[in-house]
Structure 1
Amino acid sequence: MIVLKLGGSLAAAGTLANCLDSIERKFAGSAVVVVPGGGLFADQVRLAQRQWRFDDVTAHRMALLAMQQMALLFNGLKPHWPIVRRVADLQNLPSIRIWSPDPNELDRAGVAASWDITSDSLAAWLAGQVSAGELILVKSAAIEGSEGLSELTARQILDKAFCDYSAEARYKITIINQHTLNG
């Protein structure tokens, strides 16, 4: 199984539809779980938290809703890709599907409510939960092949918790630019 996280910034960059089409072409018939970033919806949560000064638990829940909104967007563009909410329901499905995270499941798993943990870390967590063979993160930012995870974290291409969530990964981690996926 492959867990493939699409950065929410791909929608703002105007390349989201092309990325979804590329996934469909390259991974047809494969077990792939597409993890949506929160994108513009998560950006609105950040702005609202600055304005209203609500706590990180509330912001985390709202950011998960942002991922769920992106999952609906992905499904609207690819209606034959089902949305799956529970991790257990992702096992042994030989097709492309979209993960829409269940906040209660993440709470039970002890995933902290923090902006240090974004959809990048959640994708790493999910890859471990489903025993994925590979985690692919598709970003709109420029990615040089020689950069390590700590360098990508320092450049804020990966979230602050990603290295912790992937430290004991038994899966391959590939981080690419959108143009690599679409090429």
Structure 2
Amino acid sequence: MAIDGIIIIKLGGSLSRSDTLVDCLNAVEKNHQGRAVVIVPGGGGFADQVRLAQQHWQFDDTTAHHMALLAMQQIALMLKGLKPDFAIADTVAAIHDQLNRKKTVIWSPDIIELDNAGIEASWDITSDSLAAWLAKTLSATELILIKSAVIDSSLSPRQLAEQHIVDKAFCDFVAEAAFKVHIINAQNYGVGITST
């Protein structure tokens, strides 16, 4: 069954290093009450460790990609620990199931599902692009990327990619998107955007 008005909210991994993370989770509850919401976690410090390990050991990008997805899964578990009423779901089908139960969902990306979807193993594709892939796959109406970086709202996604605020592949993932895209600083979340 199709669910109307799904909102995908990507929480930048760097938010996990500050109290801003809890503020953002609280704002998700407050701003989107009664809406179908899926939170996409960044990989945070766990993904940073994957980058360092790959630089040191020189293993292939597929291995690094799978390890980075595990980093997102770890942050997903942490978010669930902070918000026990939220539900974790790993596949698109599991997300639909939890949304039908009126749960706010935390996506813990399934490695096999993403491999089967043909997601390229590359550092050009991070949780930003994966959030866009999920938004398209779920026919979401909105994708909100919440970042710790200062965001110039006059810049296009391509310009934000050039500043390394979103990943290099993000523009391709949101090209001709049927959903609205918002890229905002965490301090402005709840002030700069609310869903009606």
TM-score (norm 2): 0.91
Q: Out of 42, 45, 61, which is 1:40 matched to?
A: 45
Determine if the alignment matches structure 1 residue 85 to structure 2 residue 90: yes
Letter paired with 2:135: A
Q: For residue 177 of structure 2, what is the aligned residue in structure 1?
A: 169
For 1:103 and 1:63, locate their aligned partners in 2 and report how far apart those are by CA, in whole Å. Answer: 10
CA distance in 1, matches of 2:104, 2:152: 28
What is the RMSD computed on CA atoms of the aligned residues?
1.0
**Runs of at least 5 residues in structure 2 that lack an aligned partner in the other structure:** 1-5, 192-196
Alpha-carbon offset, residue 27 of structure 1:
1.3
CA contact (8 A) 1:30 1:95 kept: no
**1:55-66 maps to which residues of 2 (within 5 A)?**
55-66=60-71
Structure 2 CA distance, aligned partners of 1:121 and 1:168?
Answer: 14
Q: Secondary structure at the match of 1:173?
A: strand
Q: CA deviation at 1:14?
A: 3.3
Contact map agreement 1:28 1:95 (CA 8 A) in 2? no
Distance 2:24 2:85 in 1: 16
- Could you tell me which amino acid in structure 1 is paired with residue 83 of structure 2? K
Quote the sequence identity (%).
57
- Aligned mates of 2:39, 2:141 — CA distance in 1: 14
Is this contact kept in 2: 1:28–1:96, CA < 8 A?
Answer: no
Match of 1:23 in 2: 28
The structural deviation recorded for 1:168 is: 2.2
**Larger CA deviation: 83-92 vs 48-57:** 83-92
Deviation by residue 1:139-182 (Cα, 9 ceiling, x = unmatched): 00001111101110000000010011111210000111001115
CA distance in 2, matches of 1:112, 1:34: 22
User: TM-score w.r.t. structure 1 length?
Assistant: 0.97
1:152 and 1:13 map into 2 onto residues whose CA distance is: 23
User: How many angstroms apart in 2 are the aligned matches of 1:168 and 1:84?
Assistant: 27
Distance 1:68 1:178 in 2: 21
Matched, 1:67 2:72: yes
Paired residue type of 1:139: K
Contact 1:29–1:96 (CA under 8 A) maintained in structure 2: no
- CA–CA distance in structure 2, aligned partners of residues 155 and 14 of structure 1: 25
CA-to-partner distance for each residue in 1:89-115, whole Å, 9 max, x for gaps? 222533311000000000000001110
Structure 2 equivalent of residue 50 of structure 1:
55
